[in-house]
Chain A
């Protein structure tokens, strides 16, 4: 009985958090889906998003959610820069080259971040009040973060399916040389896609910073979660990423009600391996 009430109390929080995980995973999965590159700098970019919120809140005194309108374009530009400098030349090379290239970017960001912020934890104390629904209390920050995540997902979907550059991204993902033959400058489209993936990572970091303490090293954990979610939802599938994110959020809320919290990663990654073995294209299907 006690477990049930604990579960009811933590489940909504898990779901709200799941939306944000979904956005992070979407960033990873978009880049993979378009150019078959696993972006190992995903984690540190999430951490940069967190520090973006921190700086905007404390140095500029802006509301962190308004700050998203600053974090998002900066994330986009950073991604384009990373693509041009580190990814473009290895895009057709074997996967190991792009893994190493993005891993190097990962190390550079962590190094610079450590120099600027050290590795000690930061905290954005931002209170948006809370909403009570019967026995459960929903934190305002998580509600707004979930809402922002849903808006980000919806915008990405509309962008990919309703706008010209979005359709170019899908065309390049589908068949790069055919896109080039139709007059689509595929290198620029790849840079844009990498920028968008990075932007989503930065947004998710900016949202997470409003409810958990963080350091420049915090991104790693969320990067791993993004992998699990990506595999659950099928790499290259944005809607699958959102559903996978919710699944993970729920798991993280449900598991501690029944066993030690330390079991959470064991079960998460056990599931990861199971899905890889049984449904390697993800539970919700995706490109081959």
Chain B
């Protein structure tokens, strides 16, 4: 049974429909990526999955339970955690307080110490800056903090929106390495990326979203060789 399943979701903003039937399944302990061009509806899909946006139709299932109508904070408490696009840090609060806020939900609170050690080991830079205001960090450090804050929530499924956006390639590589390590430790991860090549290179399985609809899917190693994917997204 898959941990998270999105069934034929449609959604949008006001009168504007963005998602026209998107589906996907996340298998436990796997790194799955959702790729697609700019405006394909990737962020809208994540927002609908979390409940920041109400799905118009279709359903979202988490650990065998229909969570389509639940508010975002309830899902976070169940272990469905999103690292949103644009980091969305608490910029007026310190690095440490941001991590503390990551562990707001009842499930994560008992594991604060263990998870703090984990994220500081993963991103030593955050420990160096733990009293600094999040808004004063560099772009790369902010992205580290956003991921770290997500890990502090003790996720069952960690979803990350546009991890690589605006970051130096070397740093992206380092962050991707970090994600792979988390996957190897048993965490289920969903990566949403415009950087199709890199995303497919580290993922186990991939979904392509185009014009708000699910299209091709398959093991990442096969997708990267797929003629259509290569032409449309990799420019090859």
Residues of A within 8 A of B (CB): 164, 167-168, 170-171, 173-175, 177-186, 287
Q: Which of B76, B84, B92, B108 contacts A174 (CB 8 A)?
A: B92
Q: Which of B76, B91, B100, B108 contacts A181 (CB 8 A)?
A: B76
The answer to the question of B72 belonging to the interface, with a C-beta cut-off of 8 Å to chain A, is yes
Contact B52 A183 (CB under 8 A): no
Q: Tell me the smallest distance from the CB of B162 to a CB of chain A, in Å.
A: 15
Q: Which of A167, A173, A181, A185 contacts B97 (CB 8 A)?
A: A167
Q: Which residues of B contact A167 (CB under 8 A)?
A: 93, 97, 100-101
Q: Which residues of B contact A185 (CB under 8 A)?
A: 71, 73
**Closest B residue by C-beta to A173:** B92
Q: Which residues of A contact B88 (CB under 8 A)?
A: 175, 177-178, 181
Q: Which of B46-78 contact A (CB under 8 A)?
A: 50, 52, 71-73, 76-77
Q: Which of A164, A168, A178 contacts B84 (CB 8 A)?
A: A178
Contact A178 B50 (CB under 8 A): no
Q: Which of B52, B71, B153 contacts A182 (CB 8 A)?
A: B153
Contact B52 A177 (CB under 8 A): yes
Q: Which residues of A contact B106 (CB under 8 A)?
A: 183
The answer for the CA separation of A107 and B194 in the assembled complex, in Å, is: 53
Taking A181-B52, A181-B81, A183-B153 as known contacts, 15 extra A-B pairs with beta carbons closer than 8 A to each other, sorted by chain A number, are A164-B104, A171-B101, A171-B104, A174-B93, A175-B88, A175-B89, A177-B72, A177-B88, A178-B84, A178-B89, A181-B50, A181-B73, A181-B88, A182-B149, A183-B105
Answer whether A181 and B105 are a contact pair too, CB < 8 Å, given A174-B91, A175-B90: no
Contact A186 B73 (CB under 8 A): yes
**Hey, what's the 0/1 contact readout for B76-115 against A, CB within 8 Å counting as 1?**
1100011010001111110001001110111010000000
Contact A183 B76 (CB under 8 A): yes
Contact A171 B90 (CB under 8 A): yes
**Closest B residue by C-beta to A179:** B101
Q: List 29 A-B contacts (CB under 8 A).
A: A164-B104, A167-B93, A167-B97, A170-B97, A171-B93, A171-B101, A171-B104, A174-B93, A175-B89, A175-B91, A177-B52, A177-B72, A178-B84, A178-B89, A179-B101, A180-B73, A181-B50, A181-B52, A181-B73, A181-B76, A181-B82, A181-B88, A182-B73, A182-B105, A183-B105, A183-B106, A184-B101, A184-B104, A185-B73
Residues of B within 8 A of A (CB): 50, 52, 71-73, 76-77, 81-82, 84, 88-93, 97, 100-102, 104-106, 108, 149, 153
Q: Tell me the smallest distance from the CB of B41 to a CB of chain A, in Å.
A: 18
Q: Which of A174, A183, A287 contacts B90 (CB 8 A)?
A: A174
**Closest B residue by C-beta to A170:** B93
Nearest 6 CB-CB pairings of A with B: A183-B105, A183-B76, A178-B88, A174-B90, A180-B72, A183-B104
Q: Tell me the smallest distance from the CB of A256 to a CB of chain B, in Å.
A: 40
Q: Which of B77, B84, B91, B93 contacts A183 (CB 8 A)?
A: B77
Q: Which residues of A contact B108 (CB under 8 A)?
A: 183
Q: Which residues of A contact B76 (CB under 8 A)?
A: 180-183
Q: Which residue, of A170, A173, A174, A186, has the highest number of chain B Cβ atoms within 10 A?
A: A174
Q: Which residues of B contact A171 (CB under 8 A)?
A: 90, 93, 101, 104
Q: Which residues of B contact A174 (CB under 8 A)?
A: 90-93
Contact A170 B90 (CB under 8 A): yes
Q: Which residues of A contact B97 (CB under 8 A)?
A: 167, 170
The answer for the CA separation of A164 and B92 in the assembled complex, in Å, is: 16
Q: Which residue, of A167, A173, A175, A181, has the highest number of chain B Cβ atoms within 10 A?
A: A181
Contact A177 B104 (CB under 8 A): no
The answer for the CA separation of A287 and B81 in the assembled complex, in Å, is: 28
The answer for the CA separation of A83 and B91 in the assembled complex, in Å, is: 26
Q: Which of A170, A175, A180, A184 contacts B52 (CB 8 A)?
A: A180
Q: Which residues of A contact B72 (CB under 8 A)?
A: 177, 180-181
Q: Which residues of A contact B71 (CB under 8 A)?
A: 180, 185
The answer for the CA separation of A164 and B104 in the assembled complex, in Å, is: 8
Answer whether A178 and B73 are a contact pair too, CB < 8 Å, given A167-B101, A183-B104, A184-B101: no
The answer for the CA separation of A167 and B94 in the assembled complex, in Å, is: 11
Q: Which residues of A contact B102 (CB under 8 A)?
A: 182
Q: Which residue, of A164, A178, A182, has the highest number of chain B Cβ atoms within 10 A?
A: A182
Q: Tell me the smallest distance from the CB of B193 to a CB of chain A, in Å.
A: 19
